[in-house]
Structure 1
Amino acid sequence: SLCEHNRRRSRCRDCGGSSICEHNRRRSTCRDCGGSSLCVHGRQRNVCKDCGGSSICMHRLQKSRCRACGGSSFCQHGRRRNTCREC
Structure 2
Amino acid sequence: MKGEGKPLKLGSLEGDAAEAAGFRMMADAGVLPREMELKKAADALREQIAAAESAELRRVLMAELGQIEMRRAIESEARRKYMKHG
TM-score > 0.5 by shorter chain: no
Q: TM-score of the superposition, structure 1-length normalised? A: 0.21
The structure with higher relative contact order (CA 8 Å, sep 6+) is 2
